[in-house]
Amino acid sequence: MTASIIDGKALSDAVKADVAKRVQELKTTGIVPGLAVVLVGEDPASQVYVRNKAAACEKAGLHSRVVRLDADISEQELLDVVHQLNDDDEIDGILVQLPLPRDMDSARVIETIAAAKDVDGFHISNAGLLMTGRPLFRPCTPYGIMKMLESENVSLWGAEAVIVGASNIVGKPMAMLMLAAGATVTLCNSKTRDLGAQTRRADVLVVATGKPGMVTGDMIKPGAVVIDVGINRNDDGKLVGDVDFASASQVAGAITPVPGGVGPMTIAMLLVNTLEAAERRAAHHHPAPVGL
Ligand SMILES: Nc1nc2c(c(=O)[nH]1)N[C@@H](CN(C=O)c1ccc(C(=O)N[C@@H](CCC(=O)O)C(=O)O)cc1)CN2
Ligand SMILES: [Mg+2]
């Protein structure tokens, strides 16, 4: 079998085009959605992602502001910046690019973001809302994966979904979204005994471990849908996923490529979340009647 390739780039373009349309509609009410991206330090990959987020905003008509801070600022200075953005009426969405420099407490920083502006969906109250079935912001990577499955007409109802990697930003929220969609979810971690026995049960397999080529074709059930969240640069500078694409694509029914799979969807869903934050602001915004 040769898997069909799920084109995340094409789907992300469609999602962004839809966002652009809704942004234009919102602008007729006088509201421009605004995203603030906070980047601390000079991590080269983070710089690329932040630049791509700002460019995607501009292209879709959202206002974006990038706040660049020195790697050696104090945690308190960073918290002050976040507080200012919380109070800034031009800003609907705030995200702090991760990873933060080593000595900073990212949980504390994320908890300082106003939950109503937490477009990454990482704040504990957004994590709690997601877990209890009333999501406000869905974390962008798992949200993008749900969109991809939907656009491929993959039903999760009663399906076996196996997730490898239990991070707060991908694996855990992914489990919640798939559970809510009716899947029987298995969440594996680095201690899982006989990982292959788990992954081979999956109708839908999501891999987010940060370990290149960790899941190979022999670990996949024939015809399964395989979603590769990994972005690793190998020795010759090529981007590779956490799934060994060559062997996996011989067994899977459908598979996401790296690059051009999950990554572009992450940015598209960030725009969706920011737009929705602004739409909620519009719903609460009552301009003074003209002429009074
Ligand atoms: N605050 C956040 N930090 C991080 C997040 C996040 O969602 N919020 N996720 C990752 C990084 N990330 C976005 O921030 C991200 C990574 C990769 C891509 C992407 O489009 N990748 C391309 C390849 C790009 C390349 O050439 O390197 C692809 O897969 O096709 C988008 C977003 C960690 N931090
Ligand atoms: Mg305000």
Q: Please write the tens of the pLDDT for every residue from 139-194.
A: 999 999 999 999 999 999 999 999 999 999 999 999 999 999 999 999 999 999 99
Q: Please write the tens of the pLDDT for every residue from 11-30.
A: 999 999 999 999 999 999 99
Domain hosting residue 115, numbered range: 29-122
Q: Which ligand is nearest to the CA of 139?
A: 1
165 is in an annotated binding site: yes
120 flagged as catalytic: yes
Does residue 236 sit within a domain? yes
Residues 223 and 116 placed together within one structural domain of the fold: no
258 CB under 6 A from ligand 1? yes
ipTM of the complex: 0.94
Residues 166 and 242 placed together within one structural domain of the fold: yes
Give 149-157's long-range contacts (Cβ < 8 A, gap of 24+). Answer: 149/204, 149/225, 149/227, 151/11, 152/6, 152/225, 152/254, 154/204, 154/225, 154/254, 155/182, 156/181, 156/182, 156/183, 156/204, 157/181, 157/182, 157/183
**205: CATH:** 3.40.50.720
Measured by CA distance, the residue closest to atom 33 of ligand 1 is: 98
- Indicate the pTM of the whole model: 0.96
Measured by CA distance, the residue closest to atom 17 of ligand 1 is: 263
Number of domains in the chain: 2
Rounded to whole angstroms, how far apart are CA atoms 252 and 61?
A: 38
Residues 103 and 200 placed together within one structural domain of the fold: no
